[in-house]
Structures are given as structure tokens and as C-alpha cells.
Amino acid sequence: MSDLRDNRLVQTFAELRAAGGKALMPFLTAGYPDLATTEALLEDFEARGVRVCEIGVPFSDPIADGPTIQASYTEALADGVTSRGIFQTVRRYRDGGGGMALTAMVSFSIVCRHGVERYLADAARAGFDGTIIPDLPLDEADAVAPAAEAAGLANVLLIAPTTPPQRRLAIAARSRGFIYYVSVAGITGERDRLPPETIGAVAELRKHTDTPVCVGFGIGRPETVAAVCEVADGAIVGSAIIHRITDAKGQPTARLVAQIGGFVEELLAPIR
């Protein structure tokens, strides 16, 4: 079984921490508006300095995604996007020299349907470095962990604002790569500001774990990225990116990629 020291996600956060750096983690819905654009966006993000990217595997009944990401999932599924196609896209990105750490946000239903060991092994072979399974209960995480580590994948777990303190510590102890701290109760979506208690909760969590902590849900402005990264190791931005992809659809791919890349560069600016 792998100890994950060679895992790209683990190495990236170790390098960032050693350099006093922070991570911006953009989220992309795989296959939205199409898989070729997803691949082009990955290449663009990396060229702009992004070190880690989260890729959502479309699912018909997303767990905590707001209307923006739900709509992107629905359209991608209607266009025939599958896990196999996503894996092929990631493999092309890797074969082309792509070096960002990639995490797959994927429902446990999809993983189970394919078979846990098979799905995780296929994801690793494609070039993923980690998995985020938002509907994976803590007890089930113990069963998934050996298959993930055998495949060389970091199994990232989530902590919500409503998670009791002792359970937070149990989740933190089991999470690999980083801990996904959900900034607000409810669904994803752009917000003007995050609850002030989020910063305090992340600071408290950092006292009890050496595992990097990244904050997601509601982050979509450079100033919010800056505020989150005062205490966290990274900021995850999803709905704000997908919203802009939706607005840019219908344009030539190069123009869409340049627009979204420009927004990501704005988000990166406070933590460079």
C-alpha cells in the first residue's frame, strides 16, 4: 500500500507550505461545455500558475451543489459525458505534459456502480491524484481508504460547519491530501461574504492537524480568497467559474478559455 509520499497532490501542498505559499483550487465540471474545452481550461490554468484543480464528475442527483453547478451537470450528462470520457481527457492532459494536481469530485453512487477498487484504480491510471466523495460517510471512508491508497490516490474528506468538534478531529485524522472545509451550511453558490465564524473554525482546526485545510463554497472574489488564505492552505472556487463558463458559452473555445483564465488569474493575484 502506498504511503502517498509520491502523490502529486501531497507533494504540491508540501511544496507550497515550505515556500509559504497558498493554493487556489478552481473547480470545473468535466465536459462543460465539452471535454475538449475542459482540457483546454486545464492547460490554461496551469500556464497561469494554478497548482491544483478540482474536476466534478457529472451526476444526476448532486449532493450539495447549487443551481449553477447542477445545471452544468445536467447539460454535460445530456451531452453524453461519462467517467470513461473524463478519464480519457485527463490522460490526454497528462500525456501532453500537464502537471497540475487533480482531484475528482465524484458521487459515491458512481464509484460503487463501477466497483470501488476498479473506479479508483482507473482514476489513478488516468492521472487523477485525489478523490473527493461528498456523500461518503465517515464509517464508509475507512472501507474506501485502503483502495484509494493502493491506487496512490489521496481520499479527501469534508468537514461542514455543523460537524461536531470531536467528529471534525476524526475526519481530519482520516483525510488525505487536504481537508475540504465547507464554509457555509447548505449548497454551493457565489456569496458576497463568508460567515466570520468560518475563519475562526479553520484556525481552530489547524491547531489539531498538520493536514492542509482548504475552504470551499461561496468563494468567488479575490478579496475572499485573500481572507480565507490568511488561515487556510487554499481556497476552492466553483460556482463563480461555472457561472462565467455559462455566460461565455457559444463563443470560440479560445475566447472562452481566455476569459475564464483571466478570471482565475484575478483570483490568484492576492496569493501570488
pLDDT digits (tens, 9 = 90+) for 108-166: 999 999 999 999 999 999 999 999 999 988 888 888 999 999 999 999 999 998 999 99
**Radius of gyration of the chain measured on its C-alpha atoms:** 17
Closest to 48 in 3D by CA, of 86, 100, 101:
100
Quickly name the fold that domain 21-153+222-271 has. Answer: TIM Barrel (3.20.20)
Closest to 14 in 3D by CA, of 195, 177, 215, 187:
177
For 178, phi then psi, to 5°, come to -160, 170
Instruction: Identify the bridge partners of residue 28 per DSSP, sorted by sequence position.
Output: 55
| Catalytic residue check, 54 | yes
Query: Considering 34, 39, 44, 65, which one is annotated as catalytic?
Result: 65
Strands, E, within 141-251: which ranges? 154-159, 179-182, 213-216, 234-237
The Cα 39–Cα 93 span in angstroms is 6
> How distant is the alpha carbon of residue 241 from its chain centre?
13
pLDDT of residue 113: 94
pLDDT of residue 114: 95
Instruction: Identify the bridge partners of residue 55 per DSSP, sorted by sequence position.
Output: 28, 104
Domain residue spans in the chain?
Answer: 21-153+222-271
| Catalytic residue check, 233 | no
The Cα 265–Cα 128 span in angstroms is 23
The Cα 234–Cα 92 span in angstroms is 27
Query: Considering 39, 44, 54, 265, which one is annotated as catalytic?
Result: 54
Model confidence at 61, pLDDT cuts 50, 70, 90, reads: confident
Work out the average pLDDT over 252-270: 98
Work out the average pLDDT over 225-242: 95
Total-model pTM: 0.94
The Cα 257–Cα 255 span in angstroms is 5
Q: Does pLDDT of 98 surpass 90?
A: yes
SS3 category, 203: helix
| pLDDT, the chain, mean | 93
The residue type found at 149 is: E
Give the residue with greater pLDDT, 251 vs 60: 251
Report the 3 state secondary structure along 64-79. Answer: CCCHHHHHHHHHHHHC
